[in-house]
């Protein structure tokens, strides 16, 4: 039972991380679409997470 609970927590953490990355990527895409400049931390995030996160369906 403890193993199942641990697996659920890991799965939840992975989903939460994915959601946060997608939400942040969406925010960056919106800024870019508006023609706003990205700050250093946003550029660094893109470098670390790959620019492919900005390719999202419309």
| DSSP states along the chain | -HHHHHHHHHHHHHHHHHHHHHHHHHHHHHHHHTTPPP-HHHHHHHHHH-GGGG----
pTM of the model: 0.67
Tell me what pLDDT residue 52 has.
64
pLDDT in tens, 4-58: 889 899 998 988 888 888 899 889 989 989 999 999 999 898 888 866 666 655 5
Q: Look at the chain and report how many structural domains it folds into.
A: 1
- Domain extent at residue 7: 2-54
């Amino acid at each position: 039972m403890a193993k199942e609970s641990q697996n659920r927590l890991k799965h939840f953490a992975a989903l939460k991380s994915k959601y946060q990355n997608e939400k942040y990527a969406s925010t960056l895409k919106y800024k870019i679409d508006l023609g706003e400049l990205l700050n250093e931390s946003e550029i660094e995030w893109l470098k670390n997470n790959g620019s492919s996160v900005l390719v999202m369906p419309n």
